[in-house]
């Protein structure tokens, strides 16, 4: 039985055009997480990540701050069971 979890998050604020996706990918890969990050048409950034809960919590802490050029107003997130469908972390 897998101890991995899935974090689904939407980051609101000034989060597009400020290297948010690139720094999120770098952070997720450094934490050995899998999944993806992408811009949404409404100006938010969506993140779907899978891995051990402590590493996902570290990623969530990063998402609440963002890179220095971003302004994070709110992060909506839910925890789910991991599906294991991803092999790496990518920008979509």
Residue 21 a catalytic site member: yes
Candidate list 6, 26, 39, 64, residue with the active-site label: 39
Strand, coil or helix: 47? strand
SS3 37: strand
Q: How far is Cα 85 from Cα 63, in angstroms, rounded to an integer?
A: 22
User: Residue 92 and residue 73: Cα distance in Å, rounded?
Assistant: 22
Residue 65 catalytic?
A: no
- Which positions are annotated as active-site residues? 21, 39
């Amino acid at each position: 039985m897998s101890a991995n979890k899935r974090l689904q998050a939407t980051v609101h604020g000034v989060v597009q055009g400020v290297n948010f996706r690139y720094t999120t990918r770098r952070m997720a890969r450094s934490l050995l997480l899998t999944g993806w990050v992408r811009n949404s048409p409404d100006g938010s950034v969506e993140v779907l990540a899978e891995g051990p809960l402590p590493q996902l919590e570290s990623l969530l802490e990063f998402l609440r701050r963002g890179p220095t050029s971003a302004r994070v107003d709110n992060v909506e997130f839910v925890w789910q069971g991991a599906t294991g469908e991803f092999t790496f972390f990518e920008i979509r």
